[in-house]
Structure 1
Amino acid sequence: MAENTKPSINAVLKESLGNLQSLAGPDAAGELADNIATIIDYKMVTFSLAGKDYAIDIMKVKEIAKAGRFTYVPNALPFVLGVYNLRGDIIPIVDLRLFFNIEVPEREYDAIENMLIVVIGDQTFGVVVDDIDKVVGIKKSTINPPHPLFGDINIKYIQGVVEVNNRLYVLLDIERIFGAKQDVSAEAEAAAAQVANGVSKIAVQTTQKSAAQKVAESKAESAQPKSEPKPVEKEVKREKIDYSFIVNGLSSMKKFIVTGLNEKWMQGRYTDWENERGKDKTQLQTASDADAFLKTFFSPCSGTWWSKEYADSIYKALPDNSAKQIVVWNPGCGKGYETYSFACLLKKRYPDAKIKIYAHEVDLLSISNAPLLSVPADVAGDWYSPYVTKKANGEYTFAQDIRDSILFEYHDCANTNALPPVDIVFARDVLSFLSADAQKRIAADFADKLKGNGVAFVGQNEVLDNMEGSKWNVRTVGSVTVFGK
């Protein structure tokens, strides 16, 4: 598909500088360039939406382009126009006008759109705007904080506002728009400070008592002989403090919430962690420490293709079911590896049934690319072979009946889940990264959505029967635990 691109950002900037020099005259050109160099420490790409001026940091812009004929993604949010093949890379296309609820005329399928190709972390997106203007250099200190005056856009998506040549630009926080901004360093520092000051904080809390309490305690102490805490008591108290700091650190750094769902694993992991690091080095100082702590939590073959051994273990745990249609809910499906793998197993286990999988994910890029997932040759030759087909270009993809059995949807399971009754819930390692209230609510939703003979699979280190108010029948098949109503 051909694409018509504008000159590079650097070329536009060079041209703008040349125009400024020509206006000032040849004698002033050198002086002007020096002055610009001394005051410009921030550059932004400017564009318009519904007649208003906006900008984003030039460091986030890979290129500008014109393109159309985007590939439609079923069940995507309204502002996702589809995906686009950018020189071999499949990228999602987001219409910023629709994202901000700006009314736009109904577009034609092949209408050419102005796009900013932006890079957030290691992910690339196409952003559709009305018109792309130019590159503007400013002094960063001239950026003013966002103001509620810009009520047509959620203030959390605005980095600031800046006036240049009598034009007011709204500087957008493109990282926050795509949900990629995580103040990891700040959270890590906060966690480190909490660890460093933990004992003193506890001491402060214990001293914040009323004068009457202090007098009463003083009299009681004078009437009784003082006794030092036993060494064992001190050790138990220290371990409780260290454990609680780790629980808080996982929550702040990785959104991992410890409840009855995963508490058994957490306690065992803390013991192993203490043995690995030493009793005085258990605290999570950085996000890397949190990742290392959680390394053993995730289920086998998480985020990748399933091994034959793991596929066989899940296959053996699937219950008998003579229904003509097997309905599955797969929240947190990620990039689709898990969903396709489970679809193949279901086809093998229930060959005469029609399989229907509702696969939900909150990561926009992952859910956009999931329907396009191809199968590597080595995987296609493994246990997946009966369920894949070879295309004319030599690549492998899943057979049509497997692909037709899956409905990929952008959806947060913490919200309302409008689903029909299901036979199977397959939700590995999902609930632990939700709030305690959401865990309880969604676990109840699992029970409500499951048919009478339905079953639920959760993460290898998660248990539904230990959650408050839950009533589940537990069945273990090999290394796999199955929860039934």
Structure 2
Amino acid sequence: MATIQEKLSVLANTMDRAEDLTNEQLAQEKKKLSVVDYKMVTFTLAGKDYAIDIMKVKEIAKAGCFTYVPNALPFVLGVYNLRGDIIPIIDLRLFFNSTVPEHEDNFLENMLIVTVGEQTFGVVVDEIDKVVGIQKSSIQPPHPLFGDINIKYIYGVVEAENSLYVLLDIDKIFGVRTPEEERELAETAKAQMKMREEVVENERAAAAAALEASAKEDSAKAEELKKQKAADDLRFIGNSLATFKKFSVNSVTEEWMKNRYEEWLKERGEGNTQLQNEMDAEKFLSPFYSRCTGTWWTEEYADEVMKALPENSAKNIVVWNPGCGKGYESYSLACILKKRYPGAKIRVYGHDTDLLSVSNAPLMNLTDEASTSWYQPYTTRTASGDYTFSKEIKDSIMFEYHDCVNTNNLPPIDIVFSRDLLSFLPESSQNTVLNEFNEKLKGNGIIIVGENENIDGLGFKKSEGNVTLYSKE
């Protein structure tokens, strides 16, 4: 009987033996990386050859009958128990809008178990071919003609064993930045900061020289210089926030920025107000975020939101929650809306561009502390002892991977709940999203934005209260 090593030798020289690839062979291939420049696992999608770096592949498996997850993204087939670990299963064919052949319910799918950062995924493909060893220098830059997928997901193209393979970047597909990209981003931000510092310093020097030459004792000009310096400081802080946090300073955030700068000046002192790194930027923005952002709501805040909601006798209440993140807001909203409008059917559309967060949102559990708070009437306990939301609450939320700047095929909206989202979009994108709000919102609908965001006069009018509401002008 042939040994595993003998099988690997045959596999490396025979293209039609791909089906003999086993998990143990894959492990042996990884061990041989010390003498092989680059190895990749090859597979097919819709009849075309693709590959990924073997170091991203944990194992190869065949599985089926995945556990369905309500309201998951279309390309998420469900979850799978991999020796005690519950992992999401992604159909790469659906992700790339390829054709999926029909098969029986008990059909076993070909699956690559991949690791992305600290997350493990099962990736379903048509056929898993073999392990191919190549010289890394033979990988060519990506080109749109080599695949029916977005070029940003392609690491490169390589020809090997009389086949042309499109080498996929699995980190890009799941939204993970490489260390090289992180370093490049930091270097770019540093260079931009230095350039802005030079521009600001030159402007200050020129203004100071002009004022000193005209009249050193002119108090009016001295005051003007002080104001100019403050304006320069504020502008430079705004540029740094845009670089480090993608925060936009315009009519939506202008009032908050002026007030925050005065506080910041007192905290840091004259001449020490500039933001040198991302930590400084986060500290400057720390008072900006709305209450209970990225966590479970307190009972106090939940009561304030419920009291702020207007009377609405509609049988269907439709809510748009762009920037839903991991799902804390969407679940909290669904519970509040169920309590406020008990006779209505609630539908919450939770949208976000964070693929990992929005994929895992339907699987979210509550902490023990949250499960005994005001959330308790809307929760249930699983067989494993974890607390999760009731089927009624889960069925009322539709989590979707979607960029709100693009066209949104939504029904007329009763409530837009979009806290702190606008401020982290470029001004042109802000205008696009505000137009979407205006177009989709019903005549009696309301908008709730961040506590420090202002859209008064941008097609909406403001109502005062503990929770600030906006309606159409």
Which TM-score tier does this pair reach, normalised by the shorter chain?
0.7 to 0.9
Determine which of 89, 96, 105 is the counterpart of 1:93: 89
Q: Shift of residue 167 of structure 1? A: 4.6
Q: Distance in 2 between matches of 1:386 and 1:395?
A: 15
Q: Distance in 2 between matches of 1:481 and 1:292?
A: 25
1:299-355 superposed Cα distances (whole Å, 9 cap, x missing partner): 222122111122122122222333343332222222222112122112222233332
Determine which of 444, 447, 466 is the counterpart of 2:438: 447
Which range moved further: 90-99 or 429-438? 90-99
Q: Distance in 2 between matches of 1:389 and 1:199?
A: 55
Q: Distance in 2 between matches of 1:76 and 1:380?
A: 23
- Check if 1:378 corresponds to 2:369: yes
Which range moved further: 452-461 or 193-202? 193-202
- Check if 1:122 corresponds to 2:111: no
1:56-109 superposed Cα distances (whole Å, 9 cap, x missing partner): 233333333222222345565544333333345443322223333433312444
Residue 484 of structure 1 aligns to which amino acid in structure 2?
A: S
Alignment of structure 1 residues 62-461 onto 2, 5 Å: 62-73=58-69, 78-181=74-177, 183-201=181-199, 226=214, 230-461=221-452
Native 8 Å contact 1:262 1:462 kept in 2: yes
- Check if 1:7 corresponds to 2:24: yes
Q: Distance in 2 between matches of 1:151 and 1:205?
A: 50
Residue 262 of structure 2 aligns to which amino acid in structure 1?
A: T
1:420-467 superposed Cα distances (whole Å, 9 cap, x missing partner): 33322211122222231222232233233333332211112212215x
Which range moved further: 456-465 or 88-97? 88-97
Gaps of 5+ in 2: 1-20, 205-209
> Which residue in the other structure is 2:469 paired with?
482
SS at match of 1:453: strand
SS at match of 2:231: helix
Q: Shift of residue 281 of structure 1? A: 4.4
Q: Distance in 1 between matches of 2:29 and 2:190?
A: 45
Q: Distance in 2 between matches of 1:447 and 1:254?
A: 27
Q: Shift of residue 115 of structure 1? A: 1.8
Which range moved further: 388-397 or 345-354? 388-397
Native 8 Å contact 2:71 2:397 kept in 1: no
Q: Distance in 2 between matches of 1:382 and 1:13?
A: 49
Native 8 Å contact 2:51 2:167 kept in 1: yes
Q: 1:197 to 1:393 in 2, by over 3 A?
A: closer
Native 8 Å contact 2:38 2:134 kept in 1: yes
Q: Shift of residue 5 of structure 1? A: 7.4
Residue 477 of structure 1 aligns to which amino acid in structure 2?
A: G
Which range moved further: 181-190 or 430-439? 181-190
Residue 28 of structure 2 aligns to which amino acid in structure 1?
A: A
Q: Shift of residue 134 of structure 1? A: 4.2
Q: Distance in 2 between matches of 1:232 and 1:123?
A: 56
Q: Distance in 1 between matches of 2:127 and 2:270?
A: 60
Q: Distance in 2 between matches of 1:289 and 1:455?
A: 35
Native 8 Å contact 2:71 2:395 kept in 1: no
Q: Distance in 1 between matches of 2:343 and 2:76?
A: 36
Q: Distance in 2 between matches of 1:404 and 1:148?
A: 39
Q: 1:203 to 1:432 in 2, by over 3 A?
A: closer
Residue 347 of structure 2 aligns to which amino acid in structure 1?
A: K
Residue 93 of structure 1 aligns to which amino acid in structure 2?
A: I
Q: Distance in 2 between matches of 1:199 and 1:284?
A: 11
Native 8 Å contact 1:74 1:408 kept in 2: no
- Check if 1:465 corresponds to 2:434: no
Q: Shift of residue 138 of structure 1? A: 4.4
Q: Shift of residue 53 of structure 1? A: 3.6
Q: Distance in 2 between matches of 1:91 and 1:376?
A: 20
Q: 1:368 to 1:153 in 2, by over 3 A?
A: closer
Q: Distance in 2 between matches of 1:51 and 1:297?
A: 51
Native 8 Å contact 2:175 2:355 kept in 1: no
1:279-316 superposed Cα distances (whole Å, 9 cap, x missing partner): 44444444444333333322222122111122122122
Q: Distance in 1 between matches of 2:122 and 2:276?
A: 36
Q: 1:125 to 1:347 in 2, by over 3 A?
A: same
Q: Distance in 2 between matches of 1:60 and 1:286?
A: 32
Q: Shift of residue 46 of structure 1? A: 3.1
Alignment of structure 1 residues 27-46 onto 2, 5 Å: 37=34, 40-46=36-42
TM-score by length of 1: 0.79
Which range moved further: 307-316 or 446-455? 446-455
Residue 481 of structure 1 aligns to which amino acid in structure 2?
A: T
RMSD: 3.3
Q: Distance in 1 between matches of 2:203 and 2:304?
A: 51
SS at match of 1:426: strand
Q: Distance in 2 between matches of 1:356 and 1:40?
A: 54
Q: 1:43 to 1:238 in 2, by over 3 A?
A: farther
Q: State the identity as a percent.
A: 59
SS at match of 2:111: strand
Native 8 Å contact 2:70 2:394 kept in 1: no
Which range moved further: 408-417 or 272-281? 272-281
TM-score by length of 2: 0.81
Q: 1:93 to 1:438 in 2, by over 3 A?
A: same
Q: Distance in 1 between matches of 2:27 and 2:276?
A: 41
Which range moved further: 263-272 or 196-205? 196-205
SS at match of 1:197: helix
> Which residue in the other structure is 1:30 paired with?
none
Q: 1:350 to 1:5 in 2, by over 3 A?
A: farther
> Which residue in the other structure is 2:16 paired with?
none
